[in-house]
Amino acid sequence: MTQSAGRFTGQTIIVTGAGAGIGRATALRLAAEGARVLAADISAANLESLAQQAPAGSIVAVAGDLTEQAFIDTLAAAGDGRIDGVANIAGITDGWLPPAEMDDATWYKVFELNLTAPMRLARAVLPQMLARGKGNFAFVSSEASFRSSLSGVAYTSSKHGLNGLAKSIAFYYGTKGIRSNVVAPGGVKTGMDTRFRSDYAKEITAPILETAPPSVEPDIIVHSILWLLSDDSPNINGVILPCDGGWTTM
């Protein structure tokens, strides 16, 4: 990382999905740059090891299920009335199920975490941000928010929707000191479940996946997330930023 240390000193930032992958790397970097991180994940054990890895006292572990409204309330309240930023990173995949094979359970599960939870979290923290006239959201969507060939219908639709949520926040509250932007990664080396539950999807997406630039380490995505969350990106609002090695140009 080349950025200067301390960009987030004194700030309280929520990071969802902080137990693993991109969320964990984001939480660690925010903590290294001075933030108090409210680290949310369903895995209490992963949050515990995260706290041990970060500077003492920088991580507040808030373990629970983001698809439950009660947990969203607990998470928002953990800021004691001051949340400076939210990195919405938690997300799940859909087994690449195409429209004719999608089941309701997968559809709702994916939407609950990938889209409803970020909306509920934004709804919970916006009043205090608006009262202070300052707040910042970074959402992690996906290359799959631009096209339909990189996942099943639920993931694709939820990530397209997440871009819309981010833009809506920017539109309604941009003049009130709130910024809201998206990072759309290409392939990232994490433990995310990318297994196919559809032979048809596997067959039809294979040639497209062969065109993908190489997957990157989570830290590469963190550069973009922290840039958007920091004061290094003033006047940037409602932007969908691909972080994909140029995949969208192909």
Ligand X SMILES: NC(=O)c1ccc[n+]([C@@H]2O[C@H](COP(=O)([O-])OP(=O)(O)OC[C@H]3O[C@@H](n4cnc5c(N)ncnc54)[C@H](O)[C@@H]3O)[C@@H](O)[C@H]2O)c1
Amino acid occupying residue 77: A
Residue closer to ligand X (CB basis): 41 or 84: 41
Residue closer to ligand X (CB basis): 174 or 219: 219
Asked if 244 contacts 186 with a C-beta cutoff of 8 angstroms, the reply is yes
Residue closer to ligand X (CB basis): 169 or 184: 184
Binding site for ligand X (CB under 6 A): 17, 19-23, 41-43, 46, 65-67, 89-92, 113, 140, 142, 185, 187-188, 190-192
CB of 117 to ligand X, least distance (A): 7
Residue 237 has which token pair? Answer: 């609002």
Residue closer to ligand X (CB basis): 130 or 212: 212
Give me the sign of the Cα torsion angle 98, 103, 105, 111.
positive
Residue closer to ligand X (CB basis): 25 or 178: 25
CB of 235 to ligand X, least distance (A): 26
Please tell me the distance from the alpha carbon of residue 15 to that of residue 73, in angstroms, as a whole number.
15
Asked if 171 contacts 163 with a C-beta cutoff of 8 angstroms, the reply is no
Please tell me the distance from the alpha carbon of residue 155 to that of residue 108, in angstroms, as a whole number.
11
Residue 60 pairs with which residues in a beta bridge?
38
Residue with tokens 């290409």: 186
CB of 88 to ligand X, least distance (A): 8
Residues annotated as catalytic (active site), given as ranges: 141, 155, 159
Closest C-alpha to 160, from 178, 138, 143:
143
Residue closer to ligand X (CB basis): 9 or 215: 215
CB of 157 to ligand X, least distance (A): 13
Task: DSSP for 172-221, please give it.
Answer: HHGGGTEEEEEEEE--B-S------S-HHHHHHHHHHHTTPPPPB-HHHH
Q: How far is CA 217 from CA 87, 105, 170, 171, 244, in A?
A: 18, 31, 29, 32, 12
CB of 134 to ligand X, least distance (A): 25
Strand order across the 240-243 sheet: 59-63, 36-41, 12-16, 85-88, 135-140, 178-185, 240-243
CB of 75 to ligand X, least distance (A): 10
